A = this chain, B = another copy of it.
Amino acid sequence: MKKILLQLDCDPLASVFDAVTAYDAGADVVLQYGNVTTENVVDLVYGVMFTRGGDKLKYSAIFIGGSNVSRASEILDVVKKTFFGNVRNSVMFDPSGCNTTAAAAVAKMTKACDVKGQKVVVLAGTGPVGQRAAAMFAMEGAKVVVTSRKFEKAQAAAEEIKATFGLEVQPFAAFDDESTTEALKGAVAALCTGAPGVTLIREPLWKANPSLKVLGDVNAVPPMGVEGMKSSYNGEVIEGKVMLGSMGIGGLKMRVHRTCIERLFERNDALFDAQSILEIAKELS
């Protein structure tokens, strides 16, 4: 029986990236749907719920992607409510690659340095990847600080993390060398999740920080969020700090993505969202 993945995407054109990755992970067929809304998604989901019964339900699974994470979250809510009893399919939630990217970064960084009970800073952590990375560090027992140039934005992100994951993180305004130095004070790990091409930590700052053990950066476009970072860094130690660039993180991200897709088809009730994707990333890292 063919493994069919239903790709739900709120963008007008469903992601090519997600489709190719699904095929590479062993899906036999990807049914691509763009323009998915909370209204039209129900019939799409019925189409996988009601075509293959009993223990064959697991051969149909759902991937929720797209560039807009909050709309994708609404889709996920509707999908969950559409299922009933054992009439359900496994689901992976990864719009904008937010979960797989965050999980790969957090898994690599926590492997390089035990964060339990320690301070971890997610710089410019207000977007989808940043929020999820912050939540995942908190799941690992870290005391997480989320920064933004404006305190209000950091606070809003902290509230969203609280609402989505039930986890506490501390908002902090880091807008210049002084405030960034303050943000990083005593931290063992710092991850930059800002916009491409924006430097968040100048080189002298992280080199002068004695507590920092690992630095990560998901930015692929120079200049890097961590000045002195290279995309290709994958655990190199610079001035005593383990360095993880976007390609170093990206390799694991791809393996995490593919592994999640593979495992979707092992049962009919899996949900791969932040926590479970982090578990897989830790297992693979």
Which A3-21 residues have a C-beta within 8 angstroms of B? 4, 6, 12-13, 15-21
CA distance A35 to B35 in the complex (A): 13
A-B contact pairs, 24 of them (CB 8 A): A1-B24, A12-B40, A13-B33, A13-B35, A16-B31, A16-B33, A16-B43, A16-B46, A16-B47, A16-B51, A17-B46, A17-B47, A17-B50, A17-B51, A18-B47, A19-B31, A20-B31, A20-B47, A20-B48, A20-B51, A20-B60, A24-B51, A29-B30, A31-B32
A interface residues, Cβ below 8 angstroms from B: 1-2, 4, 6, 12-13, 15-21, 23-24, 29-33, 35-36, 40, 43-48, 50-52, 60, 254
New A-B pairs, 4, CB < 8 Å, besides A1-B24, A15-B47, A16-B44: A17-B51, A20-B47, A29-B30, A51-B254
Q: Which residue among A35, A46, A50 has the maximum number of chain B CB atoms within 10 Å of its CB?
A: A50
CA distance A32 to B47 in the complex (A): 14
CA distance A6 to B35 in the complex (A): 19
The main secondary structure of chain A at its interface with chain B is mixed
CA distance A142 to B12 in the complex (A): 47
CA distance A60 to B17 in the complex (A): 11
Closest to A16 in B: B47
Q: Are A29 and B33 in touch, CB under 8 angstroms?
A: no
CA distance A4 to B27 in the complex (A): 13
Q: Are B47 and A19 in touch, CB under 8 angstroms?
A: yes
Q: Which residue among A6, A13, A31 has the maximum number of chain B CB atoms within 10 Å of its CB?
A: A13
Q: Which residues of B contact A51 (CB under 8 A)?
A: 16-17, 20-21, 24, 254
Q: Are A44 and B13 in touch, CB under 8 angstroms?
A: yes
Shortest C-beta distance, A19 to chain B (Å), equals: 6
CA distance A2 to B27 in the complex (A): 11
